Structure 1
Amino acid sequence: METAEGSFFPVIDYSSYLNFKTHVTGDIREYIAIMAVESNLPMSKDNGLVIAWADVVSRALSQEAFIADYPRSNRIATIKTLYKSYETATFYGLNNTPLFHYDNLEMDLEAEKAYNAVLAKDTSGSPYLEKLSAFMKLAKADDYKLTGEVEAYRKENIPL
């Protein structure tokens, strides 16, 4: 059981299923791996990010790969939903950990560093990284501030 903001909810410990990875199909093996990471250390707590921005990107890439590799998996809907939450966190942040600070509208410095470090590597073949690359180019041109152009890009490419 977990608790957040006065609510209690069950959490499946997917890491216990890792012992069975040799006995399941590839999609289920990957699903368990993705979900074990989530159950061991969730992305957020009390609507605040509790993992590093680089981990947000890394997890989104794992989910994107699952979606590409296993489009007919019976776990695809769950992973697509999870991916959407990571995509939203990447480009917007969370209420208690926004990507752009509420007071000065500047991008979180740790996010900026993490995103630029990831993008310094090869981004070809990943629609997620291609969106992030275009977003960061736009943000850089605006001195990493939340401007009308940056907001328009988010609304067009990553609608809430």
Structure 2
Amino acid sequence: MKKKKYLFLILGLIIIFVSSCTSKNSIVSKEDSSEKTKEELKESKKEKQEKVMIEFKALISENKEPYQVIEFIDENIEKVSKKESVEMLEDFEKLQESYIDLYTDELSKENRQNILSQTYSNSEIDPNKIEEIKDDELKELVSKIVKGRYKLVEKEGSYCPVINYVSFKDYEKFLSDELKEYLNIKIIESEAPAILDGKIAITWDELGSRLIRIEKYLTKYEEGIKDEELTRLYSEYLLMYISGSKNTPIYNDENKKISKEILDAYKKMASNNKKTITGEIIREYSQLIEDNDYLVDDTVTSRLLEVYNEAIGRLEENK
């Protein structure tokens, strides 16, 4: 009887042991299967992203029009990584820039500018009123331009395309902080150009603010993807800021004395931005003008290039 009890006990232990091993093996098997599924999904997603980017690059290499490329971006940007989204928008912006001259020439043919002027009284064409254009070919052209994320604005009496950076806000959630900050800088210039028809169209305070904003961007993102473009924009702003423009001099024509408003703007900028390169350069420049009895004559203008080069040089060193 005791032998039978021992036998049953041993059999029971064996069953429990085997059952336990089977259960553990089952769990391990499920975990392996789950990991395998994750890897397969990851590989599948990567393959889809690569396919999207191959198709996108093909559109760019074929020099498709911007409205065609942006349609593809709208349909596929959610399918790719953030890095690839940035690449898409970068390449698209370059494509837009390459088409500006072509579209400008098309808009200048025959009497198209007259038609646009007669149809629209504002300096910017309302994209919601394209149907008001009577000429069908021109209507189709304007429609393509607007769909390609441009604005049509009047410059020196003619309508021409400029990139509509505000429309890029639609893609913010897909972009890096660096590109978002770049777009915000471009939006400011796009919506309120610093210079129009040879005249500085914003205040000196605003111009100074833009300089500081770009300097902070360039020092924050060393050798960033938009380094060259924003260094160029900084250079343009700086020249305007220290020398004015053809139709907006920084001095009084009669006596060559610097405008009080502009000198005050220089001092304010220098005081509020002591730890910036731009602030230091402008402090030195305003002091130069004061030491010259507030005259903007050859003594000052002969130093403009030196001031400009020092600012750009120091900015490059601090990137």
- Which residue type is aligned with residue 155 of structure 1? L
Deviations 1:36-83, CA, capped at 9 Å, x for gaps: 101111101101011000001000111111111123222211111110
Q: How many residues align?
A: 158
Computed over aligned residues only, the root mean square deviation of the Cα atoms, in angstroms, reads 1.7
Is 1:127 the equivalent of 2:246? no
Write out aligned runs for 1:86-97 (5 A): 86-97=237-248
Is 1:62 the equivalent of 2:197? no
* Runs of 4+, deviation exceeding 6 Å: none
Q: CA offset at residue 122 of structure 1?
A: 4.2
Write out aligned runs for 1:109-128 (5 A): 109-124=260-275, 126-128=276-278
Q: Which moved more, 1:24-33 or 1:103-112?
A: 103-112
Residues 148, 5 of structure 1: alpha-carbon distance in 2 compared, 3 angstrom cutoff: same
Which residue of the partner structure matches residue 304 of structure 2?
154
Q: Compute the TM-score of the two structures, normalised by the length of structure 2.
A: 0.47
Identity of aligned residues (%): 24
For structure 1, the 5+ residue unaligned runs are none
Q: 1:50 aligns with which of 201, 220, 228?
A: 201
For structure 2, the 5+ residue unaligned runs are 1-151, 310-319
d(CA) in 1 for partners of 2:160, 2:274: 37
User: SS state of the match for residue 256, structure 2?
Assistant: coil
Which residue of the partner structure matches residue 259 of structure 2?
108
Q: CA offset at residue 94 of structure 1?
A: 0.9
Q: CA offset at residue 128 of structure 1?
A: 1.4
Contact 2:270 2:280 in 1 (8 A): no
d(CA) in 1 for partners of 2:177, 2:277: 23
Which residue of the partner structure matches residue 15 of structure 1?
166
Q: Give the helix-richer structure, 1 or 2.
A: 2
d(CA) in 2 for partners of 1:119, 1:60: 12
Contact 1:135 1:153 in 2 (8 A): no
Contact 2:178 2:221 in 1 (8 A): yes
User: SS state of the match for residue 303, structure 2?
Assistant: helix
